[in-house]
Amino acid sequence: MDGVLLVDKPSGPTSHDIVARLRSVSGERSIGHTGTLDPLASGLLPLVLGRATRLAQFLTGGDKTYDAVIRLGSFTDTDDAQGQAVPDAGGGPRPDDAALDAALTAFRGTFLQVPPRHSAKKIAGHKAYDLARQDRPVDLDPVSVTVRSLDLISRSGDDVRLTVTATAGFYVRALARDIGQALGCGAHLAALRRTRSGTFGVEQALPFADVERLGRDVERHLLSPSEALRDLAVVTVTELGLRRARHGNPLSPEHLSGRWVPPGAAPVRVLDEAGRLVALAYARGGALHPSVVLS
């Protein structure tokens, strides 16, 4: 099986659990994901299978969109509802809607965000969540993140529903924590659903229960490697170009059966005449240089 499977992950299992179960029911051993979802979170989890695992690096960097519920009134040690309440922290007066809306302004645009203590970030070779579980110091450096949009959808008592679109590496748990600090009342993430990842939307995804039921027939629902990267420029190679691409050799205009592409920072899809993705290449110096070869 070679391609990308869009899964609608339920709340509860880890992303690793989803991968392990798909390996079991599909028989495909080479499976990876393109961006972890916490166990609490549900929603879109793009998985790469077979030779498409070589494309994971090109599918992880896109913006992500989330539907989040933030609960005002208390911090937790994990910054979400699965953690333990932090004693003597938070619990201050709840803000009115105007104060809440004003506080959100600071979390739009580009700013520095400190990742959660319970995260996979590494400190001196150790994952932060391992150190946190051992009650050892967890001092994480802030990371520059960009929030494209942050909208208040509704409020019901202490529960505030938001939608947020942000760059890769952004933690919605950390957003909840920081909103609680800004308001002085404490807050943590109560629920999270990812609705978009790059060019993919959750409406395209299969519920994981259906994935398990389909077993090997899930192959019918895979996006081809080329389709999964449809936002990238594309060229088609001749027979000679195909042989060169498969060996990682540079491609000149005479090796293409269609148009040339101008140089750019993004990779270019190199297709054979049947429309199958052969390689990803970068244009420079008047040639296309294959970077990842699939066939």
Could you give the residue numbers annotated as active site? Answer: 38
DSSP letter for each residue of 128-192: HHHHHHTT----PPPEEEEEEEEEEEEEETTEEEEEEEE-TT--HHHHHHHHHHHHTS-EEEEEE
- How is residue 284 written in tokens? 């420079």
How many Cβ atoms are within 10 Å of 192's Cβ, its own excluded? 23
Between CA 207 and CA 219 the distance in angstroms is: 15
Looking at the DSSP bridge assignments, the partners of residue 47 are: 5, 33
- What is the phi-psi region of residue 186: left when phi exceeds 0, alpha when psi lies from -120 to 50, beta otherwise? left
Looking at the DSSP bridge assignments, the partners of residue 69 are: 161, 191
277-284 sheet: strands from edge to edge: 234-236, 268-271, 277-284, 287-293
Beta-sheet pairing, 42-49 with 268-271: unpaired
Q: Which secondary structure element, helix H or strand E, spans residue 58, and what is its range?
A: helix 56-59
Confirm if 258 and 245 have CB atoms less than 8 A apart. Answer: no
- Determine the distance from the C-alpha atom of residue 202 to the mean position of all C-alpha atoms in its chain, rounded to a whole number: 12
